[in-house]
Amino acid sequence: MEQHMTLGGEFKLTDDITVYRMGYGAMQLAGPGVFGPPKDHDAAIAILREAVKQGVNHIDTSDFYGPHYTNKLIKEALYPYPDGLHIVTKVGAKRDDQGHWLPAASADELRQAVHDNLENLGLEAIDVVNFRVHNSQDSSAPSNESIAEPFTVLAELQKDGLIRHLGISTATAEQIAEAQTIAPVVCVQNMYNIANRQDDHLIDTLNAQGIAYVPYFPLGGFTSIQSQTLTMVAARLDSTPTAVALAWLLQRSPNILLIPGTSSLTHLHENLASADLILPEDALAELDTSI
């Protein structure tokens, strides 16, 4: 892998995994609504290869993206995987024939999901598997249910050697603590961005424990993060709101790892370059108090 930018510096995820803080999220490589094949197969392959060429060594995915299509694209584009490339996936949900998101957290469903990820990625063991807590009322909001049973299943698969490390996604502090009584948690994936800061305290708590926090929808996802303050700061720095929003996340806490997704080479380069943008103290102060 070539390294052309700082990519936000490095973070030691585990004793055996160190990643650059700017990674790549493969969710958008599937078709509309993260369902079906990509609109442009060759462009999807090119995005993955360019990300790795530029030094990205942390790719986030799931076999329920597509389903199956995204992982198969990753394998087609990058296998055999270069040394130092780490692929992180998630289980706990599935898609029906219409593309709806459904919970899939039974023991059999979780085992099948892990094996599907292994097969479609061409791996013998997955670096990190996140358990995605599913809330049927709001897919981006945590629920209050116990995660002991499904997380125990994943811990058993870890003991079997199919998973190296475990994480948790869309989880509360209580669920994270519950998971930690079962097996070590190396990362947490929750929705967080400059306009949605409900996890401020959790980020700091995890940082004190050396646990990575990986915000999904760092640029808002289906909700706009645009604000007058963000626009004004970007204009003053001769930058873009997107770059400033990503740079703000990297400066928010050293345990934050970014996985912005895109199906555009132009946007990929813009996202990676934002890791080199250092926001001055006055800009940070404005952004920190803008919500």
Q: Which residues belong to the active site?
A: 65
Query: In which region does residue 27 sit, left (phi positive, over 0), alpha (psi from -120 to 50) or beta (all else)?
Result: alpha
Pairing of strands 10-14, 17-20: antiparallel
User: In angstroms, what CA-CA distances link 200 with 91, 107, 146?
Assistant: 25, 32, 23
The dihedral through the CA atoms of 264, 269, 275, 277 has a sign that is negative
Of 218, 274, 190, residue with least CA distance to 25: 218
| H-run or E-run covering 101 | strand 101-103
Q: What CA–CA distance (Å, rounded) separates 124 from 113? A: 14
In the chain, % helix, strand, coil (3-state, to 5) comes to 40, 20, 40
Query: In which region does residue 215 sit, left (phi positive, over 0), alpha (psi from -120 to 50) or beta (all else)?
Result: beta
In three-state form (DSSP H/G/I as H, E/B as E, the rest C), the secondary structure along 122-142 is: CCCCEEEEEEECCCCCCCCCC
